[in-house]
Structure 1
């Protein structure tokens, strides 16, 4: 047993063993170590490969910071081979997508507004999506029943607004109204909402309304109180190409433009000239969205970007995996237990050990991008997926959460008032995972308390 661990167990008695009573032997692995010190503070089955759920995003984010840098930006371009005559582009527009995970309606609106300012009024041809940046996308097998849920939206070179259409609710002269945002031209909203009883607050509007899709009709029913004015709910209504094409057309027409006439896929000809170029927000902003809110789609886009930006085989998925493994090897971290599918943890197959993930945490906290990496993690009891957890520990705790049907995980850091940091990983794989969550939180709290006491006693101070 590690000397530091032995001293801390001696100091705190049998608290650690008591907290593991809730778990069967094979259900939990854990690892913890001081960032500023040496050795391991605590571990339990730390070399066993486990499904880490969304804590796998930490590995992808760490690899991306090291490979691409925190200032990396995705580039979106519009090109054409057609002449522009009197405001009419007499041919097709090529939209070259590179997988910007934060590309949304606001960015698309600005892109098309700039196109209007450059004198284009009418696009007589088609919108052609150039999707060559990703040769194929990674799988997320075993989630077919969740295909319409936003967390399982697949990655795409032309990911736009996370492929989400919003239903926005308001009251007009006492009558509830609903509009589709963006106003996708291929759909019509059938508003069957009725006024609801007066309430002080709306709460979750999804509990008051029902939205169903039948062909090109979105039927919305329910009772909507006036307090729900300004609320919204989302729908997945199209595949990625269809959503990108209809969003482009809707926003273009809202800006006074005409066309385009249809959407298809095509490679941009070498002779095409540039119409517009737009760069994304820097990678660090995407990383905060990915980790604080555990966004699977954005994480999978980031993972594929690693392969696209470091091509070896021409297979984006294989190249992404090789890029991640290459980062581990170059930093002296074993990849022996690692199994990758999509780098987001939305996987029944992905595996990593607590020790491996812990080594990534230590390297991240000691590396040049420590501030960027750590700032992307949810703060205990304050934001993201930890907003309602760890009230007693508060924002000194920064942890990435992981949640699947049979997996719960936590990985990140606790910082003592004196600045010393403990990196920790807790992975639980069990059919009982959901009911074990309070026990998992207790394990984290106990680890933190023992580390705090060890610092006060001087037994394990760096």
Structure 2
């Protein structure tokens, strides 16, 4: 019907052609039939696919519906962090000296001042300990003070993290601190005993800590299997580990990670062990300060560049990295104000709404964000919000390559439901999201390349409902794949 009209050049017919042509994207923006089928089964479903090169909506279903986004929330954290600091920025952790230096002795305190570096690990602590030793210091008469004043004491706001203040058998529920090390986790190493019936060898990596008791035992049994549990408890200001179960005599070494209950104190105790190994003795206690500490800077350690931090955050969907970056965004904007995750999440919420209003694909947003990780089930985003964000980064030449490079190509992913050789999965760069409580949440958002070379962005969201709470991850992602394949 359109072809004959293109050959008519009279003014009235040209206007008619233009009117028809420019309404086509809205009419064509349907599809997503596999997602619609999930909606017919009683799930909350929404999706949007756009062509960033042409500015068209290619396919959509309930694109403005607010749903729980889970970890695709981290796309906002990544985009805002790139905007604030740039891809090469590095967070710093400092060592300060309080008191007088007398030869190899500090007559006073040593301060470890956290800079909110989410990439801070054992290697950073070891580098700082070597710097102290190589400066000629052999003894500190006073205390080792951990300064976590950049954020202050961060109160928990999600169920998982509040539980983790007293007990955890996970690594993803790490508590937040500007001085957290190893993503707020402790590594427990379990190896089989020398023979069947012998107790397994249990140690803490890299050093045993006098402040971390290990209670219980794991028995060595025949075979290659391992069925043991490790739980961390925090009581009366002290952490301890409870272990039980079995490990096969041929199972080899297993390493598990558990979040710690007092991340700043754990960092201080671990730093003390690194200092000891480097030949520096600390005579006093490990103390944690919520107020800024002063002193002469002895050493500074710069963590990984931001683009590498974002790659780790998005690939592993690391919640601590995401929420520490969110707290940093707030602290950077207002360093004198108290910081908590709800306030910091509000910064991202404002950013989300601004991005949507500025996009060619939408003009308003009711996005709700309480954190930067997506761990909070009360977060709400619509597909149009996510697409608007991706569009905004796509337009920023400085940042787009870094966000794109930090995303996952599904065909190369070990994630259940995304793996497998498939031409469609090869054309996507994505972030996944998932929650199991209070209902199932499965989300997928990112960039795609159409066969003609155009860039696209998409967001697909499936939430369980009260009447139909649970949907298998594989089922949700298979519906998304089928709809994308048709495009």
TM-score by length of 1: 0.85
Distance in 1 (CA, whole Å) between partners of 2:202 and 2:259 is 16
What corresponds to 2:323 in structure 1? 300
Structure 2 contact 108–143 (Cα < 8 Å) conserved? yes
What corresponds to 2:189 in structure 1? 168
Greater RCO, 1 or 2 (C-alpha within 8 Å, sep 6+): 1
Structure 1 contact 292–385 (Cα < 8 Å) conserved? no
Please say which of residues 374-383 and 184-193 is displaced more in the overlay.
Answer: 184-193
What corresponds to 2:180 in structure 1? 159
Root-mean-square deviation (Å): 2.9
Structure 1 contact 27–428 (Cα < 8 Å) conserved? yes
Question: Once the two structures are superposed, what CA deviation does each residue of 1:249-299 show, in whole Å capped at 9, x if it has no partner?
Answer: 2222233321252222334455x1111111111111111111111111110
Structure 1 pair 125–18 and aligned structure 2 pair: CA distance change class (3 A) = closer
Matched, 1:52 2:75: no
Question: Once the two structures are superposed, what CA deviation does each residue of 1:207-231 show, in whole Å capped at 9, x if it has no partner?
Answer: x223356776645443323443232
Structure 1 pair 146–120 and aligned structure 2 pair: CA distance change class (3 A) = closer
What corresponds to 2:333 in structure 1? 310
Matched, 1:444 2:480: yes
Question: Once the two structures are superposed, what CA deviation does each residue of 1:320-377 show, in whole Å capped at 9, x if it has no partner?
Answer: 6336625753781566312121121111221121101111112222322111101111
Please say which of residues 184-193 and 34-43 is displaced more in the overlay.
Answer: 184-193
Give unpaired runs (5+ residues) of structure 2: 1-21
Structure 1 residue aligned with 2:463, among 410, 415, 429?
A: 429
Tell me the matched-pair count. 439
Distance in 2 (CA, whole Å) between partners of 1:8 and 1:307 is 38
Larger radius of gyration: 2
Structure 1 pair 312–348 and aligned structure 2 pair: CA distance change class (3 A) = same
Give unpaired runs (5+ residues) of structure 1: 10-14, 452-462
Structure 1 pair 356–238 and aligned structure 2 pair: CA distance change class (3 A) = closer
Distance in 2 (CA, whole Å) between partners of 1:210 and 1:437 is 26
Q: Aligned runs of 1:76-225 on 2, under 5 Å?
A: 76-135=93-152, 137=154, 139-143=156-160, 144-145=162-163, 148=168, 149-171=170-192, 173-174=194-195, 176-182=200-206, 183-189=208-214, 192-199=217-224, 205=226, 208-212=227-231, 218-225=241-248
What corresponds to 1:454 in structure 2? none
Report the alpha carbon displacement of residue 23 of structure 1 after superposing the two structures with TM.
Answer: 1.8
Structure 2 contact 34–480 (Cα < 8 Å) conserved? no
What corresponds to 1:263 in structure 2? 286
Structure 1 residue aligned with 2:273, among 221, 227, 250?
A: 250
Structure 2 residue aligned with 1:290, among 313, 318, 331?
A: 313
Structure 2 contact 127–301 (Cα < 8 Å) conserved? no
Report the alpha carbon displacement of residue 319 of structure 1 after superposing the two structures with TM.
Answer: 5.8
Question: Once the two structures are superposed, what CA deviation does each residue of 1:8-60 show, in whole Å capped at 9, x if it has no partner?
Answer: 86xxxxx7435422224770111110122212111111112221111111011
Distance in 2 (CA, whole Å) between partners of 1:429 and 1:383 is 23
Please say which of residues 70-79 and 260-269 is displaced more in the overlay.
Answer: 260-269
TM-score by length of 2: 0.81
Structure 2 contact 146–265 (Cα < 8 Å) conserved? no
Question: Once the two structures are superposed, what CA deviation does each residue of 1:41-93 show, in whole Å capped at 9, x if it has no partner?
Answer: 11111112221111111011111111111111111101122222232221111
Structure 1 pair 236–18 and aligned structure 2 pair: CA distance change class (3 A) = closer
Structure 2 contact 91–117 (Cα < 8 Å) conserved? yes
What corresponds to 2:19 in structure 1? none
Matched, 1:234 2:257: yes
Structure 1 residue aligned with 2:435, among 404, 408, 417?
A: 404
Distance in 2 (CA, whole Å) between partners of 1:138 and 1:338 is 23
Partner SS, residue 412 of structure 2: coil
What corresponds to 1:415 in structure 2? 449
Partner SS, residue 82 of structure 1: strand
Structure 2 contact 349–369 (Cα < 8 Å) conserved? no
Q: Aligned runs of 1:365-384 on 2, under 5 Å?
A: 365-368=394-397, 369-383=399-413
Distance in 2 (CA, whole Å) between partners of 1:145 and 1:54 is 20
What corresponds to 1:355 in structure 2? 384
